Structure 1
Amino acid sequence: MKKPSATIRDVAALSGVSVATVSKFINGTKRFTEPVEAKLKAAIEQLGYQSNPLARSMVTKETHTIGLTILDISNPHFTNVVKGANRVALRHGYTLLLVDVDENQARERPLIEALARRVDGLILSSRLPEDASEWLLDLDKPLVLLRRSEKLPIPSVGIDNRLATFMLTRHLLDLGHRNFAYLGIGQTRINDERIAGVRDCLAQQGLELDVHDVHAPTNRAGEQACSRVMLGPKRPQAVICYNDLIALGFIKAATALGIRVPQDVSVTGIDNVPYGEISAPTLTSVDTQSEIIGEIAMQKLIDALAGKSEIEHVTIEPCLIVRESTASCAQSGEPH
């Protein structure tokens, strides 16, 4: 027969103090004299007493849990953000509570509000426009965003999106490409920044950009867009995709259409997900250092919980990773 677990009353009886004294000691809400604390520690150890985390949180109003919302758990970029964040959380004795909003803006607010009631602070990845995000301030919890906010006084971590696509464009221009297409996901702020980076670079050469939208930042969306981009009236020599998943889907569909990458078209992505290292061809991308983003965001939130919050944006510098999916325009023979 299983021995019943020791209770707070058992600890109080063995140490000769009141239940209230044991509760205050366990929850850290009051200090006692050294002899009293020594008796309490000895009784807890002798009885093998373990405090109930839920009961403790009701007293201290702290859960030692941090919420993290991400846009899509199947995207390796977000998986790596979670890994980095969790590594730092565990180091500081926090548990991570994860919510996947599944790239659905309508779900974001109710899911975040529900999560906020169960955690000490939140790290948020969101596609909600800034004008529709002021309610985040009413959550009354420390927050860190995984994108920069110009209007909200919330600390954030992210990459320089404009620089990321500028670097990709410069690389493709150096290879001799002149006809460019960009494949993105509509009027999100990050998407606008990435388009701007391409246009900034092309403007230096007097070149224009053909912009296409997909319905989601996924492999499937990249596949579906390929024929529209490559068989349309403005066939590009180079395609810059919003992320690696779109790029990998695009390459898959291009191959099925008999379009060779990179001989007929160079293709790039952003995020440097592991799939890009084993695809055929391997994918030229920009490393967004996803795990480091997660680590820094978590450390900023833990600092905020300790009262050391600063409203600042940490910008991670992107790094160009050149692989087989981009090549000199001369390799494709006749220009498009």
Structure 2
Amino acid sequence: MKKASPTIRDVAAAAGVSVATVSKYMNGTQRFTAPVEARLKTAIELLGYRANPMARSMITGETRTIGLAVLDIRNPHFTNIVKGANRIALQHGYTLLLVDTEESQDRERILIEELARRVDGMIVSSRMPEESVQWILDLQKPVVLFGRNKHFPIPSVGTDSYLAACMLTRHLLNQGHRRFAYLGFGPSRWNDERIRGTQTCLAEQGLSATVYETHAPSPQGGERACSAILLGPQRPEAVICYNDLIALGFIKEARALGFSLPQDVSVTGFDNVSYGEYASPALTTVDLQSERMGELAMLKLIDALAGKNDTEYSLLEPRLVVRDSTMRRPNAPNSGDMPEGAATSTRKATRR
């Protein structure tokens, strides 16, 4: 016959305390004297007692679970956000429940509504228009968003995409590039800011970038767009891609078409995904502090769950990471360089 699992009453009897004391100790809602906590810890370990989260939820109304909805878990940018958020959740005794909406706006609302039923609060990355998030607030769960929402007072976290684009553009201008293309992804809320940063910095030099659109923020999107950009009548000297995945796909296809990189064209991205460093050539990018973004979003949500009414938009600073996918043009001037951003830290990879 299978041995019955120990109960909270068994722990209370073994430690010589009340059931209420065990419950408060397990839930972390009250501290006790060192001898009492030592007896509780010993009894729990000896009996092998594990709290029943479902029963606790029925009593307290709390699941101790936080929902995180991301757009595509295959993208290392979102993987890093999950890592950062999970690290903080564990430190505060929460479990993370992940939903991958797979870049599908048709499924997004259904998945997030279902997630809300199972968690105490949510962190959401979404492509939905800013003015369309009222239904999320109607779910009556604390929520933190990635990206500022100007229509609703919702706590949010992001990285300065305008500044990030300026950093890349100034870096490329300093290398003597004068013909630019920007390969974007229109549905993203960050895309317009990256275009604006690129075009504003170029306009200071009397230049502009030709803007192209890709069908997906993925390597396949970069591959598909590459030939139209590089085989057109005005081949750019530098291409700024919406993210690293697009840039890596673009680089792969450019090499397949017979171009030498970065000799024929410099290519950059955003996010600083881990394997961008191991591409050939290694990718110049902007580090958007994805893990820190996840950490900060989780801290904001934990504050919201504690009743703190903070609707601030927290903006992280990007950092330029210079590698081998960009190079100085042979005819580039050696003086008059523009500052690439005092707030950045530029890390240069060893040339191979």
Per the normalisation by structure 1, the TM-score is 0.88
Q: Is the 8 A contact 1:120 1:141 kept in 2?
A: yes
Q: Structure 2: how far apart are the matches of 1:178 and 1:242?
A: 19
Structure 1 residue 143, shift from structure 2 partner: 0.9
1:168 aligns with 2:168: yes
Q: Structure 2: how far apart are the matches of 1:44 and 1:124?
A: 40
The aligned runs of 1:1-336 (5 Å cut-off) are 1-7=1-7, 22=19, 26=23, 45=44, 49-330=49-330
Structure 1 residue 205, shift from structure 2 partner: 1.1
**How many equivalent residue pairs?**
325
Q: Is the 8 A contact 2:54 2:63 kept in 1?
A: yes
What code does the residue aligned with 2:121 have?
G
**Stretches of structure 2 lacking an aligned partner (at least 5 in a row):** 333-352
Q: Structure 1: how far apart are the matches of 2:58 and 2:115?
A: 17
Q: Structure 2: how far apart are the matches of 1:132 and 1:141?
A: 17
In structure 2, the CA distance between the partners of 1:9 and 1:94, relative to structure 1 (3 Å rule), is: closer
Equivalent in the alignment of 2:341: none
Q: Structure 2: how far apart are the matches of 1:53 and 1:121?
A: 16
Q: Structure 1: how far apart are the matches of 2:75 and 2:311?
A: 28
What code does the residue aligned with 1:107 have?
R
Structure 1 residue 250, shift from structure 2 partner: 0.2
Q: Structure 2: how far apart are the matches of 1:223 and 1:275?
A: 17
Structure 1 residue 12, shift from structure 2 partner: 8.8
Superimposed CA distance per residue, residues 152-173 of structure 1 (whole angstroms, 9 cap, x where no aligned partner)? 2111111000111111011111
Q: Structure 1: how far apart are the matches of 2:69 and 2:251?
A: 30
Aligned with 1:122: secondary structure? strand
What code does the residue aligned with 2:330 have?
A
Structure 1 residue 26, shift from structure 2 partner: 2.7
Q: Is the 8 A contact 2:176 2:331 kept in 1?
A: no
Aligned with 2:169: secondary structure? helix
Structure 1 residue 307, shift from structure 2 partner: 1.6
CA RMSD of aligned residues (A): 2.8
Q: Structure 2: how far apart are the matches of 1:247 and 1:210?
A: 16
Q: Structure 2: how far apart are the matches of 1:169 and 1:14?
A: 67
Superimposed CA distance per residue, residues 188-247 of structure 1 (whole angstroms, 9 cap, x where no aligned partner)? 321011100001101111112211111111011101110011112321111000000000
What code does the residue aligned with 2:259 have?
I
Q: Structure 2: how far apart are the matches of 1:247 and 1:89?
A: 32
Superimposed CA distance per residue, residues 94-115 of structure 1 (whole angstroms, 9 cap, x where no aligned partner)? 1011111111111111111100
Q: Structure 2: how far apart are the matches of 1:220 and 1:211?
A: 18
**Stretches of structure 1 lacking an aligned partner (at least 5 in a row):** none
What code does the residue aligned with 1:156 have?
S
In structure 2, the CA distance between the partners of 1:88 and 1:42, relative to structure 1 (3 Å rule), is: closer
Q: Is the 8 A contact 1:185 1:213 kept in 2?
A: yes
What code does the residue aligned with 1:172 have?
L
**Regions of 4+ moved over 4 Å:** 7-17, 21-25, 40-49
Q: Structure 1: how far apart are the matches of 2:211 and 2:41?
A: 70
Bigger fraction of residues in helix: 1
Per the normalisation by structure 2, the TM-score is 0.85
Q: Is the 8 A contact 1:11 1:43 kept in 2?
A: no
Q: Structure 1: how far apart are the matches of 2:326 and 2:11?
A: 69
Structure 1 residue 42, shift from structure 2 partner: 10
Q: Structure 1: how far apart are the matches of 2:41 and 2:263?
A: 74
Q: Is the 8 A contact 1:8 1:23 kept in 2?
A: no
In structure 2, the CA distance between the partners of 1:57 and 1:253, relative to structure 1 (3 Å rule), is: same
Aligned with 1:145: secondary structure? strand
Structure 1 residue 285, shift from structure 2 partner: 0.3
Structure 1 residue 3, shift from structure 2 partner: 1.0
In structure 2, the CA distance between the partners of 1:231 and 1:140, relative to structure 1 (3 Å rule), is: same
Q: Is the 8 A contact 1:85 1:291 kept in 2?
A: yes
Q: Is the 8 A contact 1:261 1:281 kept in 2?
A: yes
Structure 1 residue 48, shift from structure 2 partner: 5.4
Q: Structure 2: how far apart are the matches of 1:284 and 1:218?
A: 17
8-17 vs 183-192, greater mean Cα deviation: 8-17
Q: Structure 2: how far apart are the matches of 1:2 and 1:235?
A: 74
